[in-house]
Chain A
Amino acid sequence: MSTPVRDPAALPRLGWTLLALVLLWPLLRLTDFRPAALFEAGNLQAMGHFLGGFLPPETAPEFLAMLARATVETLAMATAGIALSMLLAVPLGLLMTRSLSISRLGPGRGGWVGQILRGLARGVLAVLRGVPELVWALLFVRVFGLGAAAGVLALGITYGGMLGKVYGEILESTDARPARILLEAGSGRLAALCYGLLPNAAQELVSYTVYRWECAVRASVVMGFVGAGGLGQLMDQSMKMLNGGEAASILATFLVLVLAADGLSGFLRRRLA
């Protein structure tokens, strides 16, 4: 007599894998995905020519001064945008977090109110981030005119939607029991958040926030096109004037900023570990 030791999950897994491949194939066809094209001689030459135009990077003092001013402007815009987005994200993200629900204990009365509020928060966050920041920026340019204000507001709204969703999901995937026993001992939601959830979730919340700040720095390129100032506008001008050297210096600045964000994130994670 043989005992069946076959993994019962094996067949479904195979099925799902095959389904994923079958779905992936038409998508690749649809996007005209032909990696071989990258290595055709003519294309390689065209790319080389384009990249060659970027060298050498521009280092004229007056351009570097302009670059420095634009960098500060971009940093200010990204930081203000993230600060604004947190004003939206923190309350909405907390509202979405089921592990901070008091009515779910027991379960008690009034659970439907919480469910509706959580659904609403989820919906609001989806609308905020569903509209790309460029569209928000085009909208706000009509109110504030060309400049950083429109960019900051647009960043704040889109990123508020993203941060709020991810804050909520990080808090949901954090061990809910420490917060639950505090709520069960009569604690309020915010106190339970600070004493029960944040000690476990702080690292991830901080690292995601810093990463979003890094994205906001890059997003300012897009913002530049609507005249929101900063590195984006500088990049826009350089590209339009086909000045590859200036573009290369701007790209190098981006690289430095990304590395700096990486360092900051690592430092904060170590502090919170």
Chain B
Amino acid sequence: MGFSLEGVRLTHANGFHALRGVDLHVAAGERVALIGASGAGKTTLLRVLAASLRPTGGRVRLLGGEPWVDSPRVLRRLRSRIGLVHQSPPIPPRQRVVTAVLAGRLGQWPLWKALASLVLPVDPEGAARELARLDMAERLYARCDRLSGGQLQRVALARVLYQQPELLLADEPVSAMDPALSELTVALLNEEAVRRGVTLVASLHAVDLALRHFPRVVGVKEGAIAFDLPAAEVTEALLRDLYAAEGALPLAGEMPGTPAPGLPPLRCA
């Protein structure tokens, strides 16, 4: 089932060309890492794959459907089969973790079940199971405003795992986590994709994480694909060219260059 993009272009309302003709074909069950400098277009590309941004030109096929050709009803069903982990997950601060995770299946549940679950969670065991894989089980009934950035990212991840999408997308899913946790989390995403045989596309800021965990690595530069290679064939020269604008290669755990003290670590938008 997988997906394919043909000549996909996307120009934002302010005239910025976010994607300039992207061709990308990914078969079902493939695991792909997107890397590239800040503002290269990784997030835009993922949102096109999530059927949440409509390209200005080109053709998008996702899981055997054409989101911008199919009827709204079919599009909605398609969207419920795609899960995107957001970089800074917008989860309401007053919501409890269990509700935030169960919200992953809103696309599959009938309305009465969604409403009933607000009164009494219908599947706390299911939510607890996904949270446990991320070492968050004990926070099941905590409120989301009591969580740290990294914990919130794991709640968002648990939500998408609970959704059980056929196309699993992640936009810098570990940007707020420490190196050890990042490693575990990226490994978990890959393990999930392999176990359920679903397609995984994740953008990562840390190049070494991408190369270690993903069989296929796609470099994005200035809204186009710079290279699309098996991880073993990605050379340092290619990477230096990809990150020419940032000056140094972003690696997990350590900062590129020596930043001034107190500055937040570099992250892709």
Q: Mark A180-203, 1 if CB is under 8 A from B, else 0.
A: 111111111011101110011010
Q: Across the interface, do B94 and A102 meet the contact criterion of CB distance under 8 Å? A: no
- Kindly state whether residue B11 has any CB partner on chain A within 8 Å: no
Given contacts A181-B86, A195-B95, A199-B95, whether A106 and B51 have CB atoms under 8 Å apart is yes
Q: From residue 25 to 81 of chain B, which have CB atoms closer than 8 A to chain A?
A: 50-54, 67-68, 72, 75-81
Q: Mark B83-95, 1 if CB is under 8 A from A, else 0.
A: 1101001111111
- Kindly state whether residue A72 has any CB partner on chain B within 8 Å: no
- Kindly state whether residue A4 has any CB partner on chain B within 8 Å: no
Which residue of the partner chain, among B50, B82, B106, contacts A182 with CB atoms under 8 Å? B106
- Kindly state whether residue B142 has any CB partner on chain A within 8 Å: no
Q: Across the interface, do B68 and A108 meet the contact criterion of CB distance under 8 Å? A: yes
Q: Across the interface, do B77 and A186 meet the contact criterion of CB distance under 8 Å? A: yes
Which residue of the partner chain, among A103, A106, A194, contacts B52 with CB atoms under 8 Å? A106
- Kindly state whether residue A268 has any CB partner on chain B within 8 Å: no
Residue of B nearest to A109 (CB): B72
CB contacts (< 8 Å) of A186 on chain B: these are 76-82, 106-108
Q: From residue 136 to 181 of chain B, which have CB atoms closer than 8 A to chain A?
A: 163
- Kindly state whether residue B104 has any CB partner on chain A within 8 Å: yes
Interface centre among A186, A196, A202 (most CB of B within 10 A): A186
Q: Across the interface, do A190 and B111 meet the contact criterion of CB distance under 8 Å? A: yes
- Kindly state whether residue A110 has any CB partner on chain B within 8 Å: yes
CB distance from B96 to the nearest CB of A (A): 9
CB contacts (< 8 Å) of A105 on chain B: these are 52
CB distance from A196 to the nearest CB of B (A): 7
Q: Across the interface, do B92 and A108 meet the contact criterion of CB distance under 8 Å? A: no
**Size bracket, chain B contacts:** 35 or more
CB distance from A64 to the nearest CB of B (A): 43
Q: Across the interface, do A188 and B111 meet the contact criterion of CB distance under 8 Å? A: yes
Given contacts A192-B106, A195-B103, whether A185 and B92 have CB atoms under 8 Å apart is no
Complex Cα spacing A105 to B50, Å? 11
CB distance from A105 to the nearest CB of B (A): 6
Complex Cα spacing A53 to B50, Å? 72
Q: From residue 202 to 238 of chain A, which have CB atoms closer than 8 A to chain B?
A: 202
Q: Across the interface, do A106 and B79 meet the contact criterion of CB distance under 8 Å? A: no
Q: From residue 113 to 148 of chain B, which have CB atoms closer than 8 A to chain A?
A: 114-115, 118
Q: Across the interface, do B72 and A103 meet the contact criterion of CB distance under 8 Å? A: yes
Complex Cα spacing A273 to B76, Å? 33
- Kindly state whether residue B99 has any CB partner on chain A within 8 Å: yes
Residues of B within 8 A of A (CB): 50-54, 67-68, 72, 75-84, 86, 89-95, 99, 103-104, 106-109, 111, 114-115, 118, 163
Residues of A within 8 A of B (CB): 102-103, 105-110, 175, 177-178, 180-188, 190-192, 194-196, 199-200, 202, 272-273
